[in-house]
Structure 1
């Protein structure tokens, strides 16, 4: 991890009430990055946290984000990708798996209400579909295996909503990847038809391990049925 990203990660994990220390060399980066953070913070408040007539269901566009914002559990980091290799970018983003797991609180219901928004301002709108989607594809299995979700957002996202395929809930003003803890209602995101069957099996196996001791719900029943169907399909494809 570079010094820049390490510094941001450390500041994200500072305990509540502790002072955040800034050095003179931080000021130029803060000045450069603050507009990107404000843009995404406003988008979280004005779009993700509110209902939308095209959503296809009641409630906010993202059911998770209003509570996380209200509890001050959403962290933002700006990752500059210019002049960095694909491997370097993947490594920095992957490091935030441990960052979010280490952030307080680490147990209880409130431990779930945390998110890290990794903002990618150097990625152009023209390149976002390739860069963001492919980065997400490469890293998704690692995050899911850790009991985490990683979401892909950018201005040209064509991913339809679960309840209205014509709605585009993943369009953000700046490309980003969002990291949060997995919840049982994430099942549909782990069994998308546009992911290869072997990947979907791995995702669902991780999902099952994550909630194996949880109380039975409609999601756990659907999860068992889905992985059974995919395993049959995988065998028939051999």
Structure 2
């Protein structure tokens, strides 16, 4: 309704829980390395984060990229002393993370249904194609969306392409997500709108963004139940503008 034509939703940690399982995988990773290094003296997870950062353009986002980065970090941190058996344990950490249950964020189905009753809705999620397809299927939410996009990166050029295909200008689009870096900042840079719904834990790389705290095109909510009202406020502003 109004000037807003499409509303986008992120997947991981917006529709369903995800980062908790990555954090559990990191703890299991540390338990493997504890047999080789003093975890109190070596910044194991800091090193893993830097390995993941440099590998993003090669491995992309998701569990498979994380697992490959864990293997590389383990080899580096142990001075190549890690055994094949323990490398296999790291592979199993990744396999278990891929199989984690899909648990919806509280109230999110009702929120998506309410918004979809008034707007066209699109799911825009990034990560490994197979894993994202599996989570979408198991979430039970796929039928609510008019379109689903699985992308390798969420940046201005990706959003610009999606918006062209949706047939809307950026100022007719609102993106809802937990990550300011990936879900909100690129859309606002293009001239769109954003609703930030923080999750209780966020991957460190997703905290890196350049948004101002008083961004006029951004609204924040504390839970899914507040999403329809926040969207109505944006619709009113967009229509008035």
Question: Please, what TM-score do these two structures have when normalized by structure 2?
Answer: 0.27
TM-score calculated relative to the size of structure 1: 0.27
Higher relative contact order by CA 8 Å / sep ≥ 6: 1 or 2? 2
